[in-house]
Amino acid sequence: MFKKNQTLGEFIIENQMSFKYSSGELSTLFNSIRLAAKVVNHEVNKAGLVDIIGNVGEVNIQGENQQKLDVYANEKFIQTLINRNIVCGIASEEEDDFIAINSLDENHQNKYIVLIDPLDGSSNIDVNVSVGTIFSIYRRVTPVGTPVTLEDFLQKGNQQVAAGYVVYGTSTMLVYTTGDGVNGFTLNPAIGSFYLSHPNMQFPESGSIYSVNEGNYIHFPQGIKNYIKYCQREEEDRPYTSRYIGSLVSDFHRNMIKGGIYLYPKSSLNSNGKLRLLYECNPMAFIAEQANGKASDGFTRILDIQPTELHQRVPFICGSKNMVTKAEEFMREAQ
């Protein structure tokens, strides 16, 4: 049910009942993400103007220099979620371990957990290229009222109840799914409201854009090399266009609108690829499948992978269904 110019708040309320876990908690959870996205957007948009750019001189568990905006975004999303008293646990790319959260109301125990990449593509911050936030929401699996455990966070991606991203680009958009399709909302910064601008987003079945860091070509498995050469050959609807921003959210968002494939495969440099399963690949895979796309590690559906570690990495191939299937064929043939 889509109404032109519907706000995100109106949309959440109107569609809450259709959500199989229909509860006000999820609406409140989305409202807190919406608020944090607006606060982070404000800082991202003026990053060049204040001394918030550059490293804080610390290194996160990924071994990456933490940019000030990374730290800021991480703190904002975590604090907003805690203040709203709606989650019992949070895991973040910027936090070594998960955060167990006790309910502020002893008569009400929270049942949702959130996994988040607060500012993906942060290496682009200093060069004014778009970045994003990615979030993934599950119901806990351990008994309500007890502290969450690692088991609550190591659920397969096919157990997600919701997932979404914020892309801080030429405009700021929040795109999410609760398992009933994908909808995109654009922020009107003048009044601070998100409006339904992209109802029922769908990956075109095929596309002509491939997104991969070709600088790593020499290190890729033979199947990926063969697929890249396939994309570049002059035959049928090819050569495809190469577009790689270095920001997963931005490359994914463009490919979902125009049709395309994003690849971050394993290589001799990264035996499991670079992207993290829990708070990058699973949420983006849930969105992709809800938008008629596909996501795998080249052989296995991303959402069926059983996680074993909080920050584990997996090879990631995601986008238009026919393009991902073709890449998988090259991977299998080269085995």
Q: Which residues are annotated as a binding site for Mg(2+)?
A: 93, 117, 119-120, 280
How many angstroms separate the CA atoms of 58 and 145, rounded?
35
The DSSP letter of residue 22 is: -
What is the nearest approach in angstroms of ligand P6P to the Cβ of residue 191? 30
Task: For residues 271 and 299, give the distance between their C-alpha atoms in angstroms, rounded to a whole number.
Answer: 15
Q: Pick from 65, 206, 213, 226: which binds ligand P6P (CB under 6 A)?
A: 213
Smallest gap from residue 248 Cβ to ligand P6P (A): 3
What gap in Å lies between CA 5 and CA 307, rounded to an integer?
Answer: 39
Taking CB under 6 A as the rule, which mask of x and - marks residues 228-247 in contact with ligand P6P? ------------------xx
Question: Cβ 143 to ligand P6P, closest distance in Å?
Answer: 35
Helix/strand/coil for 117: strand
- For the CB of residue 192, give the shortest distance to ligand P6P in the complex, in Å: 26
Q: Which is nearer to ligand P6P, 121 or 315 (CB)?
A: 121
Question: Which of 121, 265 has the CB closer to ligand P6P?
Answer: 121
Nearer to ligand P6P among residue 121 and residue 298 (C-beta): 121
Per-residue x/- track, 260-289, ligand P6P (CB under 6 A): --------------xx--------------
Q: Across-strand partners of 90?
A: 99, 114
Nearest to 191 by CA among 5, 49, 27, 50: 5
- Binding-site residues for substrate, in ranges, read 120-123, 213, 244, 262-264, 274
Decide whether 78 or 212 has the Cβ nearer to ligand P6P. 212
One-letter amino acid for residue 208 of the chain: S
From residue 159, give the alpha-carbon distance in Å to each of 49, 52, 61, 156, 197. Answer: 41, 37, 25, 6, 28
- Decide if residue 55 touches ligand P6P (CB under 6 A): no
C-alpha angle with apex 23: 136 to 94, nearest 5 degrees? 25
Q: How far apart are CA 248 and CA 129, in angstroms?
A: 12
Residue whose CB is less far from ligand P6P, 87 or 125: 125
To the nearest whole angstrom, how small is the minimum distance from the Cβ of residue 245 to ligand P6P? 7
Tokens of 304: 């069926």
Shortest Å, Cβ 275 to ligand P6P: 6
Comparing CB distances to ligand P6P, the nearer of 139 and 219 is: 219
248 binds ligand P6P (CB under 6 A): yes
Which residue from 63, 4, 327, 27 is spatially nearest to 176, judged by alpha carbons? 27
CB of 211 to ligand P6P, least distance (A): 8
CA dihedral 295, 300, 305, 311 (to 10 degrees): -70
Question: Which residues are part of a known binding site?
Answer: 93, 117, 119-123, 213, 244, 262-264, 274, 280
- What residues numbered 95-154 form the site for ligand P6P, per CB under 6 A? 120-121, 123
What type of residue is 118? P
Q: How many chain residues bind ligand P6P (CB under 6 A)? A: 9
Cβ proximity to ligand P6P, 87 vs 224, nearer residue: 224
Q: Is 181 in the site for ligand P6P (CB under 6 A)?
A: no
User: What is the total residue count of the chain?
Assistant: 335
Take residue 202 and report the two structure tokens written for it: 């769908």
- Spatial separation of the C-alpha atoms in residues 70 and 209, rounded to whole Å: 29
Copy the structure tokens of residue 33. Answer: 């993400």
Q: How far is the CB of 266 from ligand P6P (least distance, A)?
A: 12
| 309's tokens | 């570690």
Instruction: Give the nearer residue to ligand P6P in terms of CB position, either 134 or 291.
Output: 134
The two three-digit tokens of residue 40, written as one number: 């982070």
Footprint of ligand P6P (CB under 6 A): 120-121, 123, 213, 246-248, 274-275
